[in-house]
Structure 1
Amino acid sequence: MRTPLHLHRNHGRVVALLAGCTALVLAATGPATAHSRGGAHHPPAPARQVLPAGDGWASSTTGTTGGAAADAAHVHTVTTWAEFKAALADPGTAPRIVRIKGIIDAEAEGCAAFAVPGYDFDAYLAKYSPENWGYDQDLEAEPADSPEGLRRASAARQNTAIKANVPANTTIIGVGRHSGLKGASLQINTVDNVIVRNLSFETPLDCFPQWDPTDGDTGNWNSEYDSAVVTGATHVWLDHDTFTDGDHPDSTLPTYFGRIFEQHDGELDIVKGADYVTASWNRFTDHDKTILIGNSDSAATAAIDRGHLKVTLHHNLFSNLVERAPRVRFGQVDSYNNHFVAKTGYGYSYGVGLESQLVAEHNAFTLAPGITAGQILMKWNDGSLTVNDNLVNGVRTDLLAAWNAANPDNTLGSGAGWTPTLRPHVDPVRNVARVVDGGAGAGRLG
């Protein structure tokens, strides 16, 4: 029996917090992150910090405080995957803080630990090879005892093992400079008020990708699992995190049936009516499909997503990625003061999708030789777009004009139809690369 590739593996004022059932107000004048300038008072400890007023969409309406008001009984320090899941599963919605110390590996036992009896990857390859199976029929009707049925059962075991459901009113934070999650998938699902900070995420490796012979002309391997998924949740702040493929970049993955054996999905998905999300000072590196905002053009999805998916992305580093930084459907997305570094294999950064309303301003792009400004945007469907004051290799460049010049038969119009206001501080675009490179990512919280 052989299994697939194994794992070895701001200025701002914090105004008020309600602690438990009392109306205790914790007043803390000063910054909530390490990027403030001055202030007479020390900020609270990182685990007690809240999203500053006016800092992106997650600060709107009720704001985002996570577990900042947790009492001592609801502060957990964890060092294992079992401890982490237990801390999240503690019943009730009282504010909680979960401190992760060190790197926790959700897939430490390797892919073989998830495989059900009888699963054999060689048998899977033999039965569904294009020579035997062709490209005309999918595998959905295959019975439970077939190679595909056994793959599904094995995938279900991995799904249960590596996903962790995050409750409302929670702060998850890494301790020190080198803490995080490897091979885990955080599920922030239909809850309100979550903060995730100072964590290094290594993207989960799907042990059991599915072969879909009907995907394209020559089939494709399709995988599951994102490092973090915000599904129908509200008021979520992701700050000073690092997202990467780590020890298993796509370049190490094998090829079967002439297609890469794709074992990675995304780094961050914001989908299914999720709203009021701010992602700030993160590093997204060495990955293909990075951030998806809105996951389908279907009528059913549109009914859920219209009027939602309000997301702010600022002071993030997007480096050595292929695409989706982000790809947007339906949402009002404000992307400013980010640094994009495009290297070999680059596809695009901003994907303009159905009814998207993207504002991209004051961003810096560092493009390797052979990559042009006309590749930064990608039109997937009709959406609206505002682009202003962006630098490409040190030169102010109209990204919209560059796209339209390169794609005269598939042009984009100007004007997202709204103007962002929730920006506490906008750095001059010429400073963005230096400021972001020096401050973004886990271990730089201060």
Structure 2
Amino acid sequence: MNRRIRRGVVAATALTLAVTAPAAAAHAAPRPGADPARATLPAGDGWASEGTGTTGGAAAVASRVFTATTWAEFRAALAVPGTEPRIVKVVGTLNATAAGCAAFEAPGYDFARYLADYDPAVWGYENVVSGPQEDLRAASATAQGKAVKVGVPANTTIVGVGRHAGITGGSLQVQGVDNVVVRNLTLESPLDCFPQWDPTDGATGAWNSEYDSLVVYGSTHVWIDHNTFTDGSRPDSSLPTHFGELYQQHDGELDVVRGADLVTVSWNVFTDHDKTLMIGNSDSAGATDRGRLRVTLHHNLFENVVERAPRVRFGKVDAYNNHFVVPSSAYAYSFGIGQESQLHAEKNAFTLAEDVPAGRVLKKWKDAPVTTTGNYVNGRPVDLLALHNTQFPEELLRPDAGWTPTLRTHVDHPRAVPALVDGGAGAGRFC
């Protein structure tokens, strides 16, 4: 259904595509014969090109080039000591939770007992859960976290080999390091085996989960390119309901948080997810995040995602030439305007279903300025900010983010973006 919606927009823009496609296509694929594992971020390509640029492990010597065909081999390759450049090639799909949830359960944990103990009819909604089963749930969650989280060292390139490389159930943690490249992977969102019930979350409580597919935490110079982020075989629609609320086992697909800086996210697919991409995780993190969280998002496809594409706090975020496909009114918003954010959204393309008002593209979380210029909705130019303020006067947004992006190698006409991005973004597209 989504593909058919896009075709209608793309078919009307053949002339524009003929003019603009060649320049953008150069960014979608490496040179013939070039090794994707040795690729470096082009000069001027987004915030990650600032200063020293981003090369990852491109200069790795032969002894620091590893091939992983299992999750254990992948973890071992990243655990090799030293910060000299390294390349880790992923072959096939690595499954971080192949043993199943039972492998992480603490002795005595019983989910049926957990449900009985914390049923709102018994526990109520006033207090957070506590007691033996909650302690055992937490211990089980700790065991899963140790198994599925893996740290990525500085000066590292992680790259999928061929068209079908990826990771299922794992969480890549780029924490406190510099110079990392992640390319050509299908990252299926980790499924939290042990979500916590919080009866105090909202009027009717909520299940809260852990584990993002990729977290950039306090790190600099990170290039995330040509990956596919997806819920895969376990979308939210397949999850059960307990206490009248979705038993949410997914967290985010990508988070850039806690002082992270100088990140370029290019030519990725984000699909079939709720809370997708968060830049800045707390309104109270100004001491850490102010002046940081500089992120560029370009030529990414956001398809059938509910919200956070992205949600921004503090950062100077440049979002241009992305394609957003919204098939139904289950959609919440794309650009979340948060605490002290400075989002510059330019020449993006939105393919919206008929029942989705274009004013919903923006969401005001806190008072902050935003620049929206040259964006197209269903093939036509739309002033997103003016339309939002007209349709949602209760959450007026201010214009002018106060800065003009300069770190761009090429900007396509927004009419060309759907075909270019749909045809070039995601894992397996430059092999």
**Do both proteins adopt the same fold according to a TM-score greater than 0.5, normalized to the shorter chain?**
yes
Q: Which residue of 2 aligns with 1:4?
A: none
Q: What residue ranges of structure 1 are gaps of 5+ in the alignment?
A: 1-30
Encode CA deviations 1:169-194: one digit per residue, 9 max, x unaligned: 00000000000100000000010000
User: Equivalents in 1 of 2:171, 2:325: separation in Å?
Assistant: 26
Q: Which residue of 2 aligns with 1:386?
A: 371
What SS does the aligned partner of 2:180 have? strand
Q: Which residue of 1 aligns with 2:340?
A: 355
- Code of the aligned partner of 1:103: T
Alignment of 1:393-432 (within 5 A): 393-432=378-417
Q: Which of structure 1's runs of 4+ aligned residues deviate more than 6 A? A: none
- Code of the aligned partner of 2:395: N
Q: Say whether the 8 Å CA contact 1:321–1:343 is kept in structure 2.
A: no
Which of 150, 153, 158 is residue 167 of structure 1 equivalent to? Answer: 153
User: Equivalents in 2 of 1:433, 1:367: separation in Å?
Assistant: 12
User: Equivalents in 1 of 2:63, 2:406: separation in Å?
Assistant: 38
User: Equivalents in 2 of 1:34, 1:178: separation in Å?
Assistant: 21
Alignment of 1:31-110 (within 5 A): 35-36=26-27, 44-110=34-100
Task: Kindly indicate whether residue 106 of structure 2 is the aligned counterpart of residue 122 of structure 1.
Answer: no
Q: Which residue of 2 aligns with 1:257?
A: 243
User: Equivalents in 2 of 1:202, 1:36: separation in Å?
Assistant: 25
What SS does the aligned partner of 1:430 have? coil
User: Equivalents in 2 of 1:285, 1:259: separation in Å?
Assistant: 22
User: Equivalents in 2 of 1:189, 1:410: separation in Å?
Assistant: 35
What SS does the aligned partner of 1:84 have? helix
What SS does the aligned partner of 2:138 have? helix
- Code of the aligned partner of 1:35: A
- Code of the aligned partner of 1:97: I
User: Equivalents in 2 of 1:413, 1:89: separation in Å?
Assistant: 47
User: Equivalents in 1 of 2:192, 2:410: separation in Å?
Assistant: 39
Report the CA distance between 1:49 and its aligned residue.
0.8
User: Equivalents in 2 of 1:395, 1:98: separation in Å?
Assistant: 43
Report which structure shows greater RCO (CA 8 Å, sep ≥6).
2
Encode CA deviations 1:268-298: one digit per residue, 9 max, x unaligned: 0000000000000000000000000000111
Report the CA distance between 1:304 and its aligned residue.
0.3
Encode CA deviations 1:337-362: one digit per residue, 9 max, x unaligned: 00000123111000000100000001
Report the CA distance between 1:86 and its aligned residue.
0.3
Q: Which residue of 2 aligns with 1:284?
A: 270
Q: Which residue of 1 aligns with 2:361?
A: 376
Which of 171, 196, 204 is residue 210 of structure 1 equivalent to? Answer: 196
Report the CA distance between 1:438 and its aligned residue.
0.3
Q: Say whether the 8 Å CA contact 1:366–1:392 is kept in structure 2.
A: yes
Q: Which residue of 2 aligns with 1:329?
A: 313
Q: Which residue of 1 aligns with 2:426?
A: 441
Report the CA distance between 1:37 and its aligned residue.
9.8
Which of 207, 210, 215 is residue 224 of structure 1 equivalent to? Answer: 210
TM-score, normalised relative to structure 2:
0.93
Q: Say whether the 8 Å CA contact 1:192–1:236 is kept in structure 2.
A: yes
Encode CA deviations 1:362-407: one digit per residue, 9 max, x unaligned: 1000001200101100000011110001110111000001110012
What SS does the aligned partner of 1:422 have? coil
Aligned Cα root-mean-square deviation (Å): 1.5
User: Equivalents in 2 of 1:50, 1:43: separation in Å?
Assistant: 15
Report the CA distance between 1:410 and its aligned residue.
1.8
Q: Which residue of 2 aligns with 1:307?
A: 291
What SS does the aligned partner of 2:56 have? coil
Q: Say whether the 8 Å CA contact 1:43–1:49 is kept in structure 2.
A: no
User: Equivalents in 2 of 1:312, 1:408: separation in Å?
Assistant: 29
- Code of the aligned partner of 1:114: F
Encode CA deviations 1:52-85: one digit per residue, 9 max, x unaligned: 0000000001100000000000000110000000
User: Equivalents in 2 of 1:402, 1:36: separation in Å?
Assistant: 32
TM-score, normalised relative to structure 1:
0.90
Q: Which residue of 1 aligns with 2:7?
A: none
Q: Say whether the 8 Å CA contact 2:28–2:430 is kept in structure 1.
A: no
Q: Say whether the 8 Å CA contact 2:258–2:280 is kept in structure 1.
A: yes
- Higher relative helix content: 2
Which of 175, 187, 190 is residue 189 of structure 1 equivalent to? Answer: 175
Report the CA distance between 1:267 and its aligned residue.
0.1
Report the CA distance between 1:35 and its aligned residue.
2.5
